[in-house]
């Protein structure tokens, strides 16, 4: 009979926490290549072009998607929505298994490399392979979202309550720099493609592949720095761990009823962040189809967003320390409403107006996301970080099917009127603002058994 092992002692000193925090930032740097290069800039317009080519070959105004006729302009929106539904299925599983086994670091690597591999495979998107593009996008999004569940769940373990706004904001800011740097490299390649003798489709596919390489390569750093924490339950086999994780997930969903204010916060975040994610996902398509702007202008706009958003995230983080996190997030939502109103009236072909819009988005984008992440960390019961962050990610990436399908449905019903589609997203910000305003955060934090920070 083997004697029980002594529990592992984790060094939680300030120096040890700072070392983990510095490693944790690098995953934001690594995975930001996917939402910038792939999601926001290149894949949407490129996949739409492939679908349009397939429709021409078919001799129709539609492409066939599992027996349904879909307009090429609406195809990408429906793919984003399908990916979101798949994320909703897989993210709670990933979070439950991570909390049940304590193997967060290994699971972060597993899902990160799944997403990076699917992104690398986008090299094979050419001709009329719109269905392949949709499938790879869905797999990459599953990997991205499940890895984010694990990544976010480290935040309350590596930062004290008073450190989390700063740490979360620094992570988002670092991510904007990483994603922006890769996009700058891809912009240089794209602009010089003719001089280099590279076809446009090849330049786009090289850019997509670079995102997979960047994502996978820099993920090594957080995997070396982050540490697993001991858990009370250790299962002997993977099957036992999976079975235990599902039972624990069921208990978590039932226990969520004990934290109604946490649930209300999740509802608010689901709505307003659905708007944020939809704007990010369809900004490139809106610029190309509604504003008739070329690829260079669209990439320049997202570069502006990336680098200005670094400062925006840090600025709103400092404002949160001074004025309170919830108040700053509420004002940022008002800013989003103004951004969409301006997007509706941007003149066709006006690169300057579109770039100005990018600056405004950058100011509110980083703060909205970083501060929401740190706010949620305060209303999570200890020991259930990954499970609760899986619910958070459903409200983040996973809920995007609401905005994506709203956007796609409006395009379908209005014969591809992108201005009406973009303004339709206002409803998500308005409803999210109202719900967040109703959340009593100090009470929610106390109900979760956590300490209320000085400014919240």
More reliable by pLDDT, 257 or 27: 27
- The CB density around residue 156, as the number of other CB atoms within 10 Å, is 20
Has residue 234 been placed in a domain?
no
More reliable by pLDDT, 30 or 364: 30
Task: Give tens-digit pLDDT for 167-195.
Answer: 888 888 889 899 989 989 998 898 899 99
Has residue 125 been placed in a domain?
yes
**Which distant-in-sequence residues (6+ apart) come within 8 Å of 205 by Cβ?**
122, 123, 125, 126
> Highest mean pLDDT: which of 74-78, 130-134, 319-323, 392-396?
130-134
> Has residue 1 got a pLDDT over 50?
no
> Highest mean pLDDT: which of 205-209, 382-386, 412-416?
205-209
Does 319 lie in the same domain as 291? yes
Which range marks the domain in which residue 382 is found?
243-449
4-13, 88-97, 129-138: the lowest-pLDDT one: 4-13
Task: Give tens-digit pLDDT for 212-231.
Answer: 999 999 999 999 999 998 77
Chain centroid, CA 39 distance in Å? 10
**C-alpha closest to that of 169 among 17, 329, 336:** 329
Instruction: Report the number of distinct structural domains present in the chain.
Output: 2
Determine the Cα–Cα distance for residues 228 and 157; give it in Å rounded to an integer: 10
CATH code at 176?
A: 1.20.1250.20
Cα dihedral 393, 395, 399, 402, rounded to 10, equals -160
Does 178 lie in the same domain as 262? no
Structural domain ending residue among the three candidates 226, 258, 274: 226
**C-alpha closest to that of 242 among 95, 143, 389, 115:** 95
Instruction: Give the pLDDT of residue 122.
Output: 96
Are 146 and 91 in contact by the 8 Å Cβ rule? The answer is yes
**C-alpha closest to that of 46 among 289, 226, 386, 254:** 289
Instruction: Give the pLDDT of residue 4.
Output: 45
Mean local confidence (pLDDT), 423-447:
91
**If you ran DSSP here, which 8-state letter would residue 196 be given?**
T
Structural domain ending residue among the three candidates 173, 195, 226: 226
SS3 state at 70 = strand
% of the chain at pLDDT higher than 70? 92
Determine the Cα–Cα distance for residues 56 and 49; give it in Å rounded to an integer: 11
> Has residue 142 got a pLDDT over 90?
yes
> Has residue 3 got a pLDDT over 50?
no
Chain centroid, CA 143 distance in Å? 11
Intra-chain end-to-end CA distance of the chain, in Å: 52
Place of tokens 């934001």: 28
**Which pLDDT band holds residue 236 (cuts at 50, 70, 90)?**
very low
44-48, 110-114, 382-386: the lowest-pLDDT one: 382-386
Checking 340-343 for CB contacts under 8 A at 24+ apart, the result is 340/275, 340/279, 340/422, 340/423, 340/425, 340/426, 340/429, 341/423, 341/426, 343/286, 343/419, 343/422, 343/423
Has residue 238 been placed in a domain?
no
Structural domain ending residue among the three candidates 226, 258, 292: 226
Has residue 430 been placed in a domain?
yes
Instruction: Give the pLDDT of residue 198.
Output: 94
68-70 and 63-65 strand pairing: antiparallel
Does 92 lie in the same domain as 212? yes
Are 115 and 215 in contact by the 8 Å Cβ rule? The answer is yes
Does 300 lie in the same domain as 199? no
């Amino acid at each position: 009979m083997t004697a029980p092992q002594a529990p592992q002692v984790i060094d939680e000193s300030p120096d040890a926490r700072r070392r983990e925090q510095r490693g944790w930032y690098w995953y934001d740097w690594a995975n930001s290549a996917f939402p910038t290069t792939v999601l926001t800039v290149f894949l949407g317009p490129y996949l739409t072009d492939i679908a349009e080519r397939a429709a021409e070959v078919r001799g129709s105004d539609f492409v066939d998607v599992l027996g349904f006729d879909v307009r090429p302009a609406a195809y990408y929106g429906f793919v984003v929505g399908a990916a979101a539904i798949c994320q909703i299925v897989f993210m709670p599983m990933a979070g439950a298994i991570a909390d049940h086994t304590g193997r967060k670091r290994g699971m972060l690597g597993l899902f990160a490399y799944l997403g990076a591999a699917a992104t690398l495979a986008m090299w094979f998107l050419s001709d009329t392979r719109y269905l392949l593009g949709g499938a790879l996008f869905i797999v990459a999004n599953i990997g991205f979202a499940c890895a984010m569940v694990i990544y976010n769940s480290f935040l309350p373990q590596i930062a004290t309550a008073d450190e989390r706004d700063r740490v979360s904001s620094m992570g988002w800011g670092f991510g904007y720099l990483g994603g922006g740097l890769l996009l700058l490299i891809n912009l240089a390649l794209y602009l010089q493609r003719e001089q280099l003798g590279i076809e446009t489709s090849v330049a786009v596919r090289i850019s997509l592949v670079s995102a997979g390489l960047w994502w996978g390569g820099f993920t090594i750093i957080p995997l070396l720095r982050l540490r697993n924490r001991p858990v009370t339950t250790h299962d002997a086999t993977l099957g036992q761990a999976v079975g235990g994780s599902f039972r624990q997930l069921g208990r978590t969903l039932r226990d969520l009823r004990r934290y109604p204010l946490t649930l209300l916060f999740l509802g608010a975040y689901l709505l307003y962040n659905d708007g944020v994610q939809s704007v990010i996902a369809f900004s490139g398509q809106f610029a190309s189809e509604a504003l008739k702007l070329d690829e260079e202008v669209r990439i320049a706009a997202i570069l502006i967003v990336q680098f200005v958003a670094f400062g925006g995230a840090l600025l709103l983080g400092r404002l949160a320390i001074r004025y309170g996190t919830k108040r700053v997030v509420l004002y940022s939502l008002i800013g989003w409403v103004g951004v969409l109103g301006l997007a509706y009236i941007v003149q066709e072909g006006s690169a300057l107006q579109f770039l100005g819009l990018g600056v405004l988005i950058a100011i509110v984008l980083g703060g909205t996301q970083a501060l929401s992440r740190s706010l949620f960390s305060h209303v999570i019961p200890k020991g259930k970080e990954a499970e609760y962050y899986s619910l958070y990610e459903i409200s983040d990436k996973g809920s995007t099917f609401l905005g994506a399908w709203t956007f796609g449905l409006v395009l379908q019903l209005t014969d591809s009127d992108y201005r009406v589609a973009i303004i339709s997203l206002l409803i998500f910000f308005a409803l999210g603002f109202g719900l967040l305003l109703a959340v009593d955060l100090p009470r929610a934090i106390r109900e979760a058994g956590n300490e209320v920070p000085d400014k919240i």
